Amino acid sequence: MNVLNLKTAARLVDAALAAGRKINAAPLTVVVLDSGGHLLTAQREDGASLLRPQVAMGKAWGAIALGKGSRLLALDAQQRPAFFAALNGLGQSPVVPAPGGVLIRDQQGKVLGAVGISGDTSDIDEQCAISAIEEVGLTADAGVAA
C-alpha cells in the first residue's frame, strides 16, 4: 500500500471504535489523516464531549507534522514548552502533545498517515489507535521510546 484511502480510513475508524467498546472506554472521537495531514475521515461517538474532534485532530496532526507519535511529542513538550507554544501558531491545526496520535506505517516503514483519538485517558486513546492500525494489517508507530 502506497497511500491511505477512504476505505482503509473507514476500516481504521470502525476498528478503533470497536476496540473502545470492547474495553468499555468513554465515548471516543477518531480522526484519520493522510500523510500530508489532510482529513480522510472522522467520527464522534454519541456522548463524546464538545472538543474531542479538535483534540483528536491535534494529536494526529502533531504526529504527521513532526514525524513521531504523540507519546514522544508529550515528552518533548515537557522538555521544550516554548517550542510547542510557538509551534501551535504555525500549522493548520494545533498540536496536542498527548498519547493518542499514532503514525500509520506500511510494511516498509513509510508513513501513510495518522490516527488521532480522544475521549478516554490518553493511554486508552492510544491503545485503541494501535489496535485499529494493527487490525487492518498496518504498522502502528505511537512514539514509544525504545
CA nearest 121: which of 55, 34, 43? 55
CA nearest 68: which of 91, 92, 38, 99? 99
Domain ranges of the chain: 6-141
What's the confidence (pLDDT) of residue 104? Answer: 98
- Residue range 6-141 forms a domain whose CATH class is alpha beta
- Does residue 145 carry a pLDDT above 90? no
Determine the 3-state secondary structure of 3 from DSSP.
Answer: coil
CA nearest 129: which of 13, 8, 36? 13
- pLDDT tens-digit readout, 40-67: 999 999 999 999 999 999 999 999 999 9
pLDDT band at 146 (very low <50, low <70, confident <90, very high): very low
16 exposure class (CB count in 10 Å sphere: 0-12, 13-18, 19+):
buried
pLDDT band at 36 (very low <50, low <70, confident <90, very high): very high
